[in-house]
Amino acid sequence: MRASLLAPLAAALLAVAGCVEGGGPGDDFDCDQACQDGVIAFGIQQAMMAIFHRSAAVIGPMTDVQDCSHGGVAEIDGTIEQLDGMEVLQADLAYDLQDCRETLTEQYELTLHGVVTQVGPFENGGGTLSLQMDSVLLVYEGAAWSNETGQRIEQQGSCAVVSLLDCDDEGTCETTGTLCERAFDPVESYQVD
């Protein structure tokens, strides 16, 4: 069951992302604060999904401790429930991140510390996904890349983070939310097989 739970989230993790507004790679485009916040928030969201993929995700209650990819620890508690037979699942998870360093080449290099929740439905085997990520106080430091602008964005902060990843049944996704109480530019991504 674990492999099939991870499929829709793995697809989103391998996404190509960029700010909705602005130019493409090679364009003379300045990524302002809202764009930078969107790139970092998307990187944080993808790092959280990477941690989930390594977990012992099962339907029902779960408790797991994961080593982060480049140091630190993530303790995961919560549940994954079936909502509609085997097709729709509901995640309600809390991650206690302890100097958790996650990297994916030219996507993100982030160190995270704090408690983050992930709540929302996703389809088993891919398709529609709607996960909200919240943290009242997340300490973050590092970089994420914008595939749209080609820029490496570096940031550090200690603040609230709220983001919502919505994907339709065609694999088009959008991330919206706030970072340090600043609304960030929506980030588009695409699920890939």
Residue type, 185: D
In a domain, 123, yes or no: yes
Task: For residues 105 and 118, give the distance between their C-alpha atoms in angstroms, rounded to a whole number.
Answer: 24
Instruction: List the domain range (segments joined by +) for residue 9.
Output: 2-186
Task: For residues 84 and 88, give the distance between their C-alpha atoms in angstroms, rounded to a whole number.
Answer: 5
Position 30 scores a pLDDT of 77
Position 127 scores a pLDDT of 66
In a domain, 13, yes or no: yes
pLDDT in tens, the chain (193 residues): 443 444 444 444 334 344 433 333 444 457 899 999 999 999 999 999 899 888 877 789 999 999 999 999 999 999 999 886 667 889 999 999 999 999 998 899 999 999 999 999 887 666 677 889 999 999 999 999 987 777 899 999 999 999 999 988 788 889 999 999 999 999 988 765 5
Position 192 scores a pLDDT of 59
Task: For residues 150 and 152, give the distance between their C-alpha atoms in angstroms, rounded to a whole number.
Answer: 7
Total domains, the chain: 1
In a domain, 192, yes or no: no
Torsion sign, CA atoms 6, 12, 15, 17: negative
